Every structure is written in C-alpha cells, then in structure tokens.
A and B are shown apart, each in its own frame.
Chain A
Amino acid sequence: MTITPEAFSALVRPHLGRLHRFAYRLTGSAADAEDLVQELLIKVYPRRQDLAEIDRPLPWLTRVMYRLFIDQHRRQSRSPLHLVVDNTGEDGVDATLDSLPDDSPEPDEAHERELRQEQLARAVERLSEDHRTAVTLHDVEGYTLEEMQEILDCPIGTLKSRLHRARARLRELLEESG
C-alpha cells in the first residue's frame, strides 16, 4: 500500500516547526532554513514508506536534515551553527532602531533582554563544534539525550560528558563577556 501525498503530509507536518527551528540554528538565515527544510522534504518523500514505519519520526527526520546540512553546507566552509539573534524587520531594517531611547536612566527592559540574548548567542558560537551541536540540540532545541543519540549517531555517555563540558565552557565565556 503506497503512502499518498496526504498521508505523507500528515506524517511530516507535525514536526516541521521543530525541524525549521533547528534548520535556522544550523544555517543562521531564514531563507537558508526554509531551503534546508525544503531539501529535507524532497529527500524523504521518495522514502515515505520507510518513514511511515518509524515509531518516532522526529529524530529520524532531524538526523536526515542534519546530515544534509553537513554534506552540502560544510563544503562552503561556513560556521556550522548559528545562534544569531535576527533583529531585522521585514524591510531589512534593524527593528530595534524603531524604538527611540527614552529619557529615563533605567535601561529599557526589552533592550536589556536583547543584549543578553546576543551575548548568549555569541558565547554559544564560540564553543567548539561538538559542544555547540550538543548545547543547541539539547538545551536550545530541547531534544532528549536519546533523540540526540539517534540524530548524531553517538553514544549517550559521550553526549553527556560533551554537554557537561559545553555548559561549563559556556558559563566561562559568559562570565568573560560580563
């Protein structure tokens, strides 16, 4: 029995939001994230029969997408993971400029939050690739250790110690940048 397009859609649609988020973490750009999700769908549609037989499609799909990214994009020697805070509005203008600074001496709360996010994003970027991947998958995107094992094809013990060291390093970097 072949899987119809509608059935395929029902299989993948619930996961596309999370896949898109991770695609954005990987590529750092909205357009590239959409491209990566599109490439994933083009790649897995012919394999929808396999997909239908998998208990938990999300780690499988994430793994395929991650490998697609590594194969296609690393060749272009870009930094593999980006946690850039994209502040641009639709017309490409930095949206934070729209809010004029007010006169009060207390810093704008939203502005503070943005600064903190940028600081965090930069710290994560400075981690080694293995550390960055671990932190991004687990802490940023909320994948479990079991799921990560499937996505990265790496034993849980290794992932745990990687995460542990990654977080310690992240804290160091955050302290450095004040």
Chain B
Amino acid sequence: MRCEEAIEYLDEYLEDGLKDEARAVLDAHLQGCPRCREVFAAHQALVAELRALPVPTPAEDFFERAITRAVRAHEHQQDHHRTQHRRMAWRYAAGGALAASLVLGVILNVSPPTSGPAVAPMAAIPGLTIGLHEVQKVRLSVDSNQTLQHAVFTVELPEGVELAGFPNQRTVRWEGSLHEGKNLLELPLVAQDRTGGVLVARIDHAKKEKVFRLQLNVQPERGATRNAGAGLGWV
C-alpha cells in the first residue's frame, strides 16, 4: 500500500469503517511507515482539539420548552389560520415584552418632532429620545382597512441602535399579518452608542409598500454612572 492510498482511507480507518482485511493492510503499512503514522497522529490530535472547542449549553429545560412551543405553534396555526409565529413572536413571549396575540402595526406614542433647525412640516419626521444601553419599547400601531395576510415587515435600524434580541443586525425582517382595524407593534430598541439616526419601518404587501420613519436621538443613561471596574469582579 502506498502512502497516498493510506491517507485516502484515513477517515474510514479512524471512524472504524474499514473492513477487517483493509484494516489489516493499513495497519501493516502504518507499522512500517513513520511518515504516515505521523500524519495519522497529527490528524487525531487536531480533531481532538477541534472537538473540544466549547459550545455554550442552553438552559436546562430549553429543549423541552422548544418542543412545546413547536407543538403549540402548529396547533395555533391549525386553529386560527394565522401565519406561524416567527422568531419575534415567541421570543418576545419568552421575555414578556410582547403579548403573543399582538400582530403587526405601526403607530406612534412618540413626542412631537425634536427641536432643531426649522423644517417644513411635511419633511419633519417624528422624533424620539432613547437612553443609552436601556431597552426602550417603542410602540408602533397601524390602521388597516382590511385583513392582510403575508405582509413583510422590515425594520432598518440606524447605526448604533439594535432591536433587543437581534444583536448586530441593522435589518430585521419577518412575515406576519395585519387585521382590519388597529394593529400594534412593539419594538424593544437598545442604543449601543450615541450616534442615533433614522429608524425605517416598512410594511410590504402584494406590490405595495408603506414606510414609516422615526428619528432616534440617544442620550446618556439616566441611571447612576456605571463603575467600569464593577463588572470585572475586582473590589
């Protein structure tokens, strides 16, 4: 057996997938070939290190709860013909931030436009000030004159602002439906820095799109200044 052949069978050999005969031939080769022995040993060592790369363990009953949620989501869908719960719906249910029955909507409990250079009323967009590193639930509600299934909701966040639970995502998109009448959407925003900017919420249905813009300004946290050392376990 040549070295090239031996290495061909490296994986099967290590996975115990070789038939006895083939295994015997390979063993014989290894005995007489230090180079191949080294390759096999190096490979095993590398694999052992790779296997040991840590993975965080989920909460104890996470799997059980996830199974239950999957069953419920299906039964819910069957019962009420609603589109399935997407990440947002059940994740919020877990955090208590959004009742599962809330579907999507957009409108505002926001303050009137913030002060600044005078802008013609049509160009002004509503503004909101949020605190740095604090979760601010912004409620958007939209009135729909009919039920719309399969609407696509997109939230485009300004730099430095995230949707709690969606780290490092400037765009969050999901599918949902709008009922006839008033629909409510709650976005838990977290500002990670002072940049701020415009949040854009889009609702797309069939070929139409509705866009809402909200100016977000960030101010320092209202709570007591955090002691930088406190989180590091030093006294």
- Which A residues form the contact surface with B (CB < 8 A)? 5, 8-9, 12-13, 16-17, 20-21, 24-25, 29-31, 33-35, 37-39, 41-42, 44-46, 76, 83, 85-86, 91-93, 97-98, 116-117, 120-121, 124, 135, 138-140, 142, 144-145, 160, 163-164, 167, 170-171
Contacts and interface: CB of A to CB of B under 8 A. Distances in A.
A34 B69 contact: no
B55 A24 contact: yes
Nearest to A159: B11
Nearest to B231: A93
A16 B199 CA distance: 37
Nearest to A114: B54
B97 interface: no
A144 B17 contact: yes
Given A42-B70, A170-B46, 9 more contacts: A5-B68, A30-B58, A31-B165, A34-B66, A39-B87, A85-B54, A139-B47, A144-B15, A163-B11
B45 to A, nearest CB: 11
Given A38-B90, A138-B11, A144-B17, A120 B167 contact: no
Contact of A38 (B56, B66, B231): B66
Interface of B: 7-8, 11-12, 15, 17, 42-43, 46-47, 49-56, 58, 62-64, 66-71, 73-74, 84-85, 87, 90-91, 165, 167, 169, 171, 231-233
Nearest to A89: B233
Nearest to A17: B63
Given A139-B50, A144-B15, A170-B46, A45 B74 contact: yes
B11 A145 contact: yes
A142 B51 contact: yes
B51 A140 contact: yes
Contact of B84 (A20, A42, A145): A42
B107 to A, nearest CB: 27
Contacts of A139: 46-47, 50-51
Contacts of A124: 50
A76 B171 contact: yes
A170 B47 CA distance: 11
Given A30-B58, A35-B87, A76-B169, A41 B67 contact: yes
A120 B62 CA distance: 29
Contacts of B55: 20-21, 24-25
B58 A135 contact: no
